[in-house]
Amino acid sequence: MSTALLSVEGVLRKENKDPIPEGLMLFRTLVLNYRVVLSTDSDPKEIEHWLKTNYVFDYATVLTSADFYEDQPLKLRHIELARKDGKVMLYIDSDPDMCAEALSQNITSILFASPRFFQSSREIKPWDVISEEQIKQKQKVAELYARYVNADGYRFE
């Protein structure tokens, strides 16, 4: 049976450990046709508890934070370990860089994007800053437009 490597963070659960329902549905669909290996940066006890709590059972194995070398990124190490047990046919992650890396290794990749999950490592601008920027942009457009319109309202260049 072909192997699918699925990232837990961003696909099955959010950063606050809440489950992502669409990710769980995807997982339950994958286990019908693939040997599913889970990849996580959590410690083994914590992830086992979370998986049992959320009724995630039919996976082959879980690769955790204990399964890596210090000089190698965790997810790359997990891809390498999953390949040792057989051909990895599918890689699913919410990280576009890791999906690109898997593609470069000849692994079909699915970028999982859910409106219920976004990585908080990206800086999110406060609404006030966005509003101020919008006002500045409107003023710049008005100034540019004013250069090309005479007093009678006719446009000239």
Rounded CA separation 8/53 (Å): 14
Mean pLDDT on 17-33 = 94
User: Residue 32 — pLDDT band, cuts 50, 70, 90?
Assistant: very high
Query: What is the chain's alpha carbon radius of gyration, rounded to the nearest angstrom?
Result: 23
- Domain 3-111 sits in CATH 3.40.50.1000: yes
More reliable by pLDDT, 63 or 114: 63
Count of other CB atoms within 10 angstroms of residue 7:
24
Q: Give the model confidence (pLDDT) of 63-101 as tens digits.
A: 887 766 666 677 777 888 888 878 889 999 998 888 888
Q: Give the model confidence (pLDDT) of 40-67 as tens digits.
A: 888 899 999 999 999 999 998 888 877 6
pLDDT of 155 above 80 = no
More reliable by pLDDT, 62 or 123: 62
pLDDT at 140: 82
Percent pLDDT > 90 in the chain is: 36
Q: Which of 61, 1, 79 is nearest to 33 (CA)?
A: 1
Between the CA of residue 157 and those of 58, 140, 148, 149, 150, what are the distances in Å?
69, 18, 6, 8, 10
Highest mean pLDDT among 44-53, 61-70, 108-117, 122-131: 44-53
Mean pLDDT score of the chain: 84
Indicate the pairing of strand 88-93 with strand 108-111: parallel
